């Protein structure tokens, strides 16, 4: 089987949107979100040949007999296109798809793929299957050139396959060929594309372009090293409609609009001039900020802005950044420009969090990315290995690759059999030949990990030798000495750390509780400073520690841990904690995986700390459960570990000891801190596993496999013995290891590795310092890669693990990164990758936190400070914690407390003056009202206002006096639904008099009475808050039985204002309205968290629009899974009040202002509302 892969970047417009249509300059840049296409040729059934297309992102999977496709092809490409477009549905049906379920754009994407195949691909032989797999990280329809990247990636693999390209050297001719074919695909998709998108995707980097009299002028430019956040507003828009809007404005106001287009052209030229500077100064950065804001202001006046874009601009400005739309506008995407000096922690924890809370999708991106990249998987040593390698020139059979950072070059000469001869020399002294060696199979170029800024290395997989361009000799990275263990085990003593006792027999069961740092017992007493004695000198101290008041803990204990002494340790812990005034709940873990189940679903209300008693395996289960929760418990209720197993490395890291007593004392002190978690993603089954400790692959995971079989030996010796066994085997695996480093730059390695260890913490086993530079919450994972498989080298590494000096060895790479992935390959000969070999991705088991689970390939991403841990052996510091505290609204700390950081209502609260002077007046208005209920929803469109009005009408028919306050300032709908759209507010001597319903005793107050029904309200911040407080303090409701608050979707200023004002009025609670749709249910979890955080009881969840009522027979058709909402409510421990079906008769009645309970009393919808009302009022008469 042969396989070729290609990836092409998307693009964003930095400056010049819309003005480029009128001949002005625009600037576009390639981004590091890419579309990937893989072409595979393999054997198929005899006497047939097939084309398979898999577009996973849009769930399109089609398969054709190629003979059925050939009649579409014509020498005239336009004829082929017309035939395909006129027979698209037939084409899709022949491929086994359903055209009815595909959108128009998806159908055209299929046409493009078949068109490019028919005109580019070499013929398939009889019995051959050709497969095209396309996947993308680009959002579709967001103005980021996703269609161009799609066309470029498909064209690339087909052309590379047709011409057998040497893909490491894509010259101008090849790139132009790719670009031309991609443009023809874009024409099918868009009719008359500009050609900019496919040009940027093909060539990459950044270009300035303009089009005059049909001629496109393109120049490549450099851009300042800025970081960017790309925010998808999730608002659909039509590019053609927005372009027409600007055109119409130009025709109506030609002079004014031309002036604005000219100003946009000047902005693009000014940015280009700044970009061409040798050195970008601080003033230049400020100039760019001003250009961005000016450009966005002009776009707003052209009518292509949107309220979501304005919201993003306001959020960015609060954090000191400038933003603008990119693309056509009217929604789509927005760019926030971040400077080099931006604090990534602040950006990720504050800016990104705030944007995400507003419902936006955020992508951290880099710009000026590389263009199309093609990789022939049969020849991985011929592929590009990162941006540091640059094709300098190509002369006949000699390729010169240049290290752009130093000018060092290497000549690689490819003979006919593609086996390279190589020589290296200094670019400044070309006559000085540094090294030359005979052709050997298996060479690959890579940046030197020991000094990536000064070296390139040409590595020989077969001998592990390296040519270093700054050295005069070939360096053998292995020692010539070998350790011959033989039968004399005493020789191994040289490799034993001095503090480890040599095994002399069975290990005592209690040995694992010994304190490895200090044999003396410590009497803490009242002097907590003595805890510092338990801190090992190199241990990573977590930042952001905060003191919590521990009054109640829940202990989840593994009875089988510690040689089946888990229950005894749990009882001992309970005695110690209760003796110190702490209430204890004890829950046994009954089976494997039980800890994960409990931590994901159990209620933690009233619990201060959840303690996991057992080894690292037990804590691993609890962490995975906690990370899957839909609420904020993982930050609000810390996890603590009580060491009671055979492996307790995290207890050692967190508290400095593996001793149970020490861990208990630290927990009683109540010091908690955020810790990092590694998210392991496995594409083979689309699953995730979370890690708090470490990941082992290669020989390292094999050691743990062997050690599992030797558990009877005890912890101290079984890992040593297992390591010795694997040392003697000395296996290596070819793999691609790539990721994002601590500096934010991408790295990629291709080599044979014997060991990969990735640690989030420093320690492992009996104090091994596997990752000496690791910290608990620095947002990084430390990756240790060992290239050697010789016994002597590996034994040397093993010895140095105990003091952390292994990272200084020449055959060890130590990389701190934010994310990384491993793709290992199988091959017949481990020292050979040649044209005859066909390496396949290898599925190898991993060791995650000491548990054998997960298989390669995988990707690990660090989720910084995503879990709170308790029991830290460090002093409390001034760093702000991630642990939520009580909301300080209506106090002198409102908007200023720790919890206020990132809260949507922070600025609103902060703008006040502490305790509001109208609080007493509001309380006076609320006191005569018996019951006050908030109606909430996580997202719009679920029928929240409809449910609120139906409940109020149903209550009134029961003889209750009801009021409904519509505080959805920006989208009031209650007046229309209640049949009083033109009601007027009367200002009487007693206050504002609400509008009365024409039939029922329902009083209505809404901002909708203060504005025209078709006029948008754009009140924000304090003005919006003041209006709500004025409604609460000035409205004269008189005596009511029920007052319902119809709030906007989500959690916003309106919610904060209402809850703050009602805090002293004892509201009954909140009703949460949702649908059974998965997206709606996802947002319900946030509403539950919001209510619990601010102390509002949750009366229950209502599922609206659960089914469709037939207008003829009242039969109901389910729209969503029947038990989805009920299961969700049970999971979060809140009542499920019932379902409300969708009845067309009721909908029409409410649209026309009629009371559905009067017009259609027999409707299933009315019956459902009455049933839910019975449950709500069960204890409220």
Q: Of 704, 550, 681, which is closest to residue 627 (Cα–Cα)?
A: 681
Question: Tokens standing for 160?
Answer: 């590379």
CB 733 within 8 A of CB 839: no
Peptide bond into 1015 cis (omega under 30): no
Collapsing DSSP states into helix, strand and coil, what is residue 313?
A: helix
Per the residue annotation, which of 32, 197, 847, 1041 is the catalytic one? 197
* C-alpha dihedral, 658 to 664 to 667 to 673, nearest 10°: 0
CA 569 – CA 505 distance, rounded (Å): 25
CA 120 – CA 342 distance, rounded (Å): 46
CB 938 within 8 A of CB 1087: yes
| Cβ contacts of 863 within 8 Å, gap of 6 or more | 627, 676, 677, 678, 679
Give yes or no: 197 in active site: yes
CB 618 within 8 A of CB 561: yes
| Cβ contacts of 296 within 8 Å, gap of 6 or more | 305, 309, 313, 323, 324, 325
CB 932 within 8 A of CB 1045: yes
Q: How buried is residue 778: exposed, middle or buried, by Cβ count under 10 Å (0-12/13-18/19+)?
A: buried
Instruction: Quote the longest CA-to-CA distance of the chain.
Output: 103
CA 150 – CA 139 distance, rounded (Å): 12
Give 137-148 as a DSSP string: SSPTTSSS-HHH
List, in sequence order, every beta strand (DSSP E) within 183-329. Answer: 206-212, 215-221, 227-232, 322-326
Contacts 24+ apart (CB under 8 A), 158-163: 158/39, 158/116, 158/117, 158/120, 158/121, 159/120, 160/4, 160/6, 160/39, 160/374, 160/376, 161/2, 161/4, 161/39, 161/41, 161/121, 161/122, 162/120, 162/121, 162/122
Per the residue annotation, which of 49, 121, 136, 147 is the catalytic one? 147
Give yes or no: 147 in active site: yes
Cα(first)–Cα(last) distance of the chain, in Å?
A: 75
CA 1058 – CA 936 distance, rounded (Å): 12
Collapsing DSSP states into helix, strand and coil, what is residue 1016?
A: coil
Helix (H) or strand (E) holding 188: helix 172-190
CA 18 – CA 25 distance, rounded (Å): 10
CA 1013 – CA 983 distance, rounded (Å): 11
Contacts 24+ apart (CB under 8 A), 402-408: 402/427, 403/447, 403/455, 403/456, 403/469, 405/453, 405/454, 406/453, 406/454, 408/455, 408/456, 408/469, 408/470
Alpha helices in 958-1007 (DSSP H): 974-977
Question: Tokens standing for 279?
Answer: 């050195």
Question: Tokens standing for 708?
Answer: 């599992």
- What is the phi/psi pair of residue 621, to 5°? -60, -45
Collapsing DSSP states into helix, strand and coil, what is residue 459?
A: strand
CA 759 – CA 763 distance, rounded (Å): 8
Alpha carbon 986 to its chain's center: 51
Collapsing DSSP states into helix, strand and coil, what is residue 778?
A: coil
CB 496 within 8 A of CB 796: no
CA 417 – CA 335 distance, rounded (Å): 49
Question: Tokens standing for 949?
Answer: 């009005």
Question: Tokens standing for 322?
Answer: 């400038």
CA 572 – CA 558 distance, rounded (Å): 14
Q: Of 444, 470, 443, 468, which is closest to residue 457 (Cα–Cα)?
A: 468
The residues carrying an active-site annotation are: 147, 197
């Amino acid at each position: 089987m042969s396989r070729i892969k290609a990836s092409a970047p998307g693009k964003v417009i930095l400056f010049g949107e819309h003005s480029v249509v009128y001949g002005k300059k625009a600037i576009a840049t390639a981004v590091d979100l890419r579309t990937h296409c893989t072409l595979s040729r393999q054997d198929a059934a005899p006497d047939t040949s097939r084309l398979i297309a898999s577009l996973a992102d849009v769930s399109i999977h089609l398969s054709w007999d190629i003979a059925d496709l050939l009649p579409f092809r014509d020498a005239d490409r336009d004829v082929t296109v017309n035939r395909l477009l006129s027979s698209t549905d037939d084409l899709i049906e022949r491929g086994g798809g359903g055209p009815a379920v595909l959108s128009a754009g998806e159908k055209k994407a299929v046409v493009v793929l078949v068109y490019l195949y028919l005109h580019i691909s070499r013929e398939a032989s009889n019995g051959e299957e050709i497969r095209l797999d396309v996947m993308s990280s680009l959002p579709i329809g967001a103005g980021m050139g996703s269609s161009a990247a799609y066309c470029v990636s498909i064209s690339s693999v087909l052309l590379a396959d047709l011409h057998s390209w040497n893909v490491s050297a894509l010259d101008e001719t090849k790139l132009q060929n790719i670009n031309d074919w991609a443009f023809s695909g874009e024409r099918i998709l868009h009719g008359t594309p500009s050609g900019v998108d496919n040009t940027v995707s093909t060539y990459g980097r950044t270009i300035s372009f303009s089009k005059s009299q049909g001629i496109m002028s393109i120049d490549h430019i450099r851009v300042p090293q800025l970081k960017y956040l790309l925010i998808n507003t999730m608002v659909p828009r039509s590019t053609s409609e927005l372009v027409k809007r600007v055109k119409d404005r130009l025709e109506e106001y030609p002079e004014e609009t031309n002036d604005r287009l000219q100003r946009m052209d000047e902005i693009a030229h000014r940015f280009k001039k700044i970009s061409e500077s040798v050195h970008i100064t601080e003033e230049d950065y400020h100039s760019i900020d001003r250009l961005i804001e000016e450009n966005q202001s002009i776009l707003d006046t052209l009518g292509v802005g949107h309220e979501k874009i304005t919201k993003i601009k306001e959020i960015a400005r609060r954090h000191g950044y400038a933003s603008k739309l990119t693309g056509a506008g009217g929604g789509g995407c927005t760019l926030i420009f971040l400077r080099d000096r931006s604090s990534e922690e602040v950006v990720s924890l504050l800016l990104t969090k705030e944007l995400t809370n507003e419902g936006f999708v955020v992508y951290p991106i880099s710009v000026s990315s590389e263009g199309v990249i093609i990789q022939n998987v049969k020849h991985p040593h011929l592929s590009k290995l990162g941006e540091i390698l640059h094709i300098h020139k190509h002369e006949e059979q000699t390729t010169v690759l240049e290290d752009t950072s130093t000018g060092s070059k290497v000549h690689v000469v490819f003979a006919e059999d593609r086996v390279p001869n190589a020589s290296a020399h200094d670019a400044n002294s070309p006559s000085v030949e540094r090294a030359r060696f005979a052709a050997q199979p298996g060479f690959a170029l890579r940046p030197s990990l020991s000094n990536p800024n000064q070296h390139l290395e040409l590595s020989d997989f077969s001998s592990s030798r390296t040519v270093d361009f700054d050295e005069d000799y070939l360096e053998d990275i292995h020692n010539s000495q070998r350790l011959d263990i033989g039968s004399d085990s005493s020789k191994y003593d040289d490799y034993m750390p001095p503090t480890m006792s040599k095994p002399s027999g069975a290990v005592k069961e209690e040995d694992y509780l010994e304190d490895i740092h200090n044999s003396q017992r410590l009497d803490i007493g009242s002097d907590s400073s003595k805890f510092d004695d338990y801190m090992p000198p190199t241990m990573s101290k977590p930042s952001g520690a905060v003191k919590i008041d521990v009054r109640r803990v829940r202990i989840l204990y593994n009875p089988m841990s510690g040689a089946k002494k888990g229950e005894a340790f749990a009882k001992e812990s309970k005695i110690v904690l209760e003796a110190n005034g702490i209430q204890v709940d004890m829950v046994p873990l009954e089976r494997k995986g039980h800890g994960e189940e409990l931590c994901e679903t159990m209620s933690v209300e009233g619990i201060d700390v959840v303690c996991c008693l057992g080894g690292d395996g037990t804590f691993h289960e609890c962490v995975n459960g906690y990370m899957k929760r839909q609420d904020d418990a993982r930050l609000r209720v810390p996890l603590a570990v009580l060491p009671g197993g055979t492996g307790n490395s995290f207890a050692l890291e967190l508290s400095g000891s593996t001793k149970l007593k020490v861990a208990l004392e630290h927990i009683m002190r109540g010091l908690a801190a955020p810790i990092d978690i590694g998210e392991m993603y496995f594409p083979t089954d689309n699953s995730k596993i979370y890690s708090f400790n470490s990941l082992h692959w290669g020989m390292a995971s094999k050691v743990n496999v062997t050690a599992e079989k030797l558990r009877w030996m005890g912890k101290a010796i079984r890992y040593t013995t297992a390591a010795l066994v694997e040392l003697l085997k000395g296996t290596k695996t070819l793999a691609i290891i790539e990721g994002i480093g601590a500096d934010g730059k991408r790295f990629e390695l291709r080599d044979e590795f014997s060991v990969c260890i990735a640690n989030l913490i420093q320690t492992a086993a009996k104090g091994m310092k596997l990752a000496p530079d690791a910290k608990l919450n620095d947002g990084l994972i430390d990756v240790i890669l060992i290239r050697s498989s010789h016994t002597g080298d590996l034994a040397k590494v093993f010895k140095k693990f105990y003091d952390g000096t292994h990272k200084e060895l020449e055959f060890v790479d130590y990389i701190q990164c934010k994310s990384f992935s491993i793709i290992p390959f199988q091959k017949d000969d481990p020292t050979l990758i040649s044209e005859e070999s066909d390496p396949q991705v290898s599925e190898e088991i991993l060791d995650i936190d000491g548990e054998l689970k997960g298989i390669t390939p995988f990707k690990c991403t660090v989720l910084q400070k995503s879990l709170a841990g308790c029991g830290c052996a460090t002093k409390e510091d001034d760093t702000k914690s991630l642990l939520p505290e009580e909301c300080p609204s209506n106090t002198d700390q409102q908007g200023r407390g720790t919890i206020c950081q990132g809260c949507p209502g922070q600025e609103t609260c902060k703008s006040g003056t502490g305790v509001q002077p109208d609080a007493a007046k509001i309380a006076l208005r609320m006191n005569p009202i018996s019951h006050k209920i908030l109606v909430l929803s996580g997202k719009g469109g679920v029928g929240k206002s409809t449910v609120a009005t139906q409940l109020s009408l149903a209550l009134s028919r029961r003889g209750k006096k009801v009021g409904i306050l519509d505080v959805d300032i920006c989208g009031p709908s209650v007046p229309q639904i209640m049949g009083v759209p033109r009601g007027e507010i009367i200002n009487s001597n007693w206050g504002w008099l609400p509008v009365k319903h024409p039939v029922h005793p329902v009083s209505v107050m809404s901002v909708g009475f203060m504005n025209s029904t078709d006029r948008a309200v754009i009140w924000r911040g304090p003005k919006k808050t003041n209006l709500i407080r004025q409604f609460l303090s000035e409205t004269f409701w008189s005596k009511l039985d029920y007052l319902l608050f119809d709030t906007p979707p989500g959690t916003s200023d309106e919610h904060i204002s209402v809850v703050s004002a009602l805090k002293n009025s004892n509201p009954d609670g909140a009703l949460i309205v949702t649908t059974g749709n998965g997206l709606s249910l996802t947002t319900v979890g946030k509403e539950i968290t919001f209510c619990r955080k601010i102390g509002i009881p949750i009366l229950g969840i209502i599922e609206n629009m659960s089914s469709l009522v037939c207008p003829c027979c009242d039969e109901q058709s389910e729209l969503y899974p029947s038990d989805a909402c009920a299961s969700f409510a049970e999971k979060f421990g809140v009542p499920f009040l019932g379902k409300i079906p969708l009845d067309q008769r009721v909908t029409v009645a409410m649209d026309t202002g009629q009371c559905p309970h009067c017009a259609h009393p027999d409707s299933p919808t009315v019956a459902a509302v009455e049933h839910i009302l019975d449950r709500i009022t069960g204890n409220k008469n």
